[in-house]
Each structure stands twice: as C-alpha cells, then as structure tokens.
Amino acid sequence: MKEKNTVAILCSGGPAPGINSVISSIAKSFLKENWRVIGFNEGTKTIFTDKPKTVEFDFAYADYIYNRGGSVLRMSRYKPKDSEFNTKFFTKNNVKLLVTIGGDDTAATANRITKYLNKEKVDIKNIHVPKTIDNDLPLPDRLPTFGFQTANNEGTSIAQTVYEDARSSGNWFVVSVMGREAGHLAFGIGTACHYPLVIIPEMFRGKKITFSKIIDMMISSILVRKTIGVNHGAIIISEGVFHFMDESEIANCGVNFTFDEHGHPELGTVSKAHIFNVLLQKKLKELGIDVKSRPVEIGYEIRSCAPTAFDMNYCTMLGMGVKKLFDEGHTGCIVVAKANGEFSPLYLKDIADSKTGKIKTRLVDVDAQDYLLAFDNMHYLKEKHYKEASKYVAHPEDYDLEKILATG
C-alpha cells in the first residue's frame, strides 16, 4: 500500500482569533483527499527532537474546533538554530507540505527550515498563513491579517465601556493596547470609539519618542476638553511607542521594572497603561491641574476570543487557499485571499529584507486620508485654544500637539 502524504501544521507566536478555523479548513481540505494531517504542539520547539509533540487530525476533530477561540495547537515563540535542523520527522512521516501559522518571525523560520530540507533532497513545500492581531504584515490592498478584525471588535467593546465609565464618573482613562511596533489596533479601536486622542508610534514620523512628549500630548487633549467644558475623556496609546524609545528612557522613567539576564527592562511584567498613568498624574500635580485618571490595559483578553463571522469566513478561505496554492505548485509564500474572491501567493522573498531576511513591518499609513481625517477630528491643543488654555497652564504653547510632534 502506498504511504500517505502528510501535511504538517504549526503555530508560533501569540494567539489570534481564527487560528482553529484555519487549522480546521486546512485539515478538511487535505483529509478529503486521503492525506494525513499532523499538528505540532509548542511550535518549532520539538520538531527536530527525538520525540516531537504532535496531534493527528481526523474529520471529527477538525469539525469540532473550527469556531473555537484560542488554539488547539500549543504555541511557542521558540526559534530553532540552523544547527538543530534535521530531516527525521519529515522523511519518517512523508511530509510534503509544511503549513505555518504566525507572524513575520514564524514565516522567516519556516523559510529557513524548508530551504534546509530542500538542500537535503527532501521534497517539501511551505505555505504560510498570516496571523497576528497587530495587522503588521505587508499584505496587498490593506488586507488585514486574520484575527485583527476580531481583536479590534473585542477591544472596541472594552474601550466603549471604559469611555462610558469616564462619562459617568467624570474621570479620564489612559488605555494601552497591544501592537508591537505598529499602531493598527490602537488606531482602529480609538477611532471606532471616538476617543479624543489616539497615540501611535507612526504619528511621530521617525522623530524621537519620549515619555515627556507623550505626557504633554495627553495634557494637550485634557486642556482642550476643559476649554469646551468637558471634564472627562479617554486616551488610547499603542504599546508600539516603546519599540522606538531608547532603553535608558524606559529604565529611567521612575517606574520600577524587573530586568532580564541581559539587563533589559522586562516590559511584559508591568502594565503599560500604568506607566503612562503614573507619569501623567505626576505632571498634572506639578501643573496644579485636578484631573483623576485611571489605567486600563487591553491585550491578552482579545487574543483568544472566539472569532467573529468575518474572521471565521476569512480563515476558512485562507485554509482552503493553502490547498489551492499547494495544488498549483507554490511554495515559500504567504496565502492571500483577496477581497475580489481571488487567491494568490505572496512570496516571502519579495517582502523580506534582503540583508536580515525579516519581513518588513506594515505600519499605519499616516498620510492616508482616513488617518488624516481621524487625526484632524481629535481633541488637541492648537493656537486658537491658547487663550482659554492659559487659565490652566502658564505656557499653553508647550502643549500644542503639532509642535510636540515636530520636535526632534
């Protein structure tokens, strides 16, 4: 009897809504043609060991998981070294396709693995499914990465409740949102909720980002709201701003951090919203402005929620698109499900940095009309507000947001 072909699936990085919909759709597409479908637990961590941690999918299991949140395959951020690579699992199980579900790091690692296997005369293809709630992979036509729309929807629900609390209590809220180095989630959530100010790293246009600038921008919004008789509000900040800060800026901000073995501050152990709120309150007290603010962190709770109808459908198409691209002979690519109903490969070599091999990050386009319109309708201090704002601060020009952004 001829040995069955196998498709192997692994997920790396952090969870995103819709992972199980992708896994289910891939499994069903290959099972109907009598393939084996094997999933790896813990990403790439055990693939090259003597005892890989695997799960085998049949139709019943694939059908059970398609609408569940989280991931039935345990995830990991482990990155194997080239020296760890071997062909054992792939030759033993007759693996013809490796499907990776993840972000840019996962795609780059998968590319390394398949190049090695091909060099070792193992006939295998690799197709990547773009997953990240950060929406920062460079897909064409502003297509979202899967999971982003659900995370955006869930985050918006939380942020709306926060704003209602601000309105009810007369307080301000400082909301921090996940996003790595891109501000897509913060921008999406903030504009959906009509937040008076959305702070994302892209708006600094390459200029230095400091806590001082960010706090002054927040005060800019508070001052403008005061001039129109509104004493409550909420400001949303992308955690991506930390990516562009000097490490000394973070370490010396006055908030106590733990440090890793290399002496770097461990940002993952402390709420980013707490950091901003502590610094904001310190500056407000120095200025004699009586405003209460509270921190809210939006992050882990939006990564593993059940996918919305958009992401369930999108992920189903991506999963079936993997089979289509494989049948057409594509490899070393990302599956793209276009808005016009077409599927196409996006080759990793075309979007990766030629020197580092890393995929270029898609940032918020701050020159696009949607961003410019949203920015223009935010509440921040301009010259026309100086007179009224001088009732609260001696030098209102110091809190002119456009001037703050223009400084180096």
Residue 51 is given by DSSP the state S
Measured CA to CA, the distance from residue 133 to residue 14 in angstroms comes to 9
Q: Find residue 294's DSSP bridge partners.
A: 173
Cβ-count burial 306-334 (b if 16+ within 10 Å, e if not): bbbebbbebbbbbbbbbbbbbeeebbbbb
- Of the chain, the end-to-end C-alpha distance in Å amounts to 70
Residue 265 is given by DSSP the state B
Check 50, 104, 105, 134 and give the catalytic one. 134
Edge to edge, what strands does the sheet with 233-238 contain? 197-199, 233-238, 172-177, 293-298
Measured CA to CA, the distance from residue 48 to residue 63 in angstroms comes to 29
Residue 400 a catalytic site member: no
Number of H helices, E strands in the chain: 14, 11
**350, 140 in Cβ contact below 8 A?**
no
Residue 116 CB neighbour total at 10 angstroms: 14
Q: Find residue 235's DSSP bridge partners.
A: 174, 197
Q: Which residues are catalytic?
A: 134
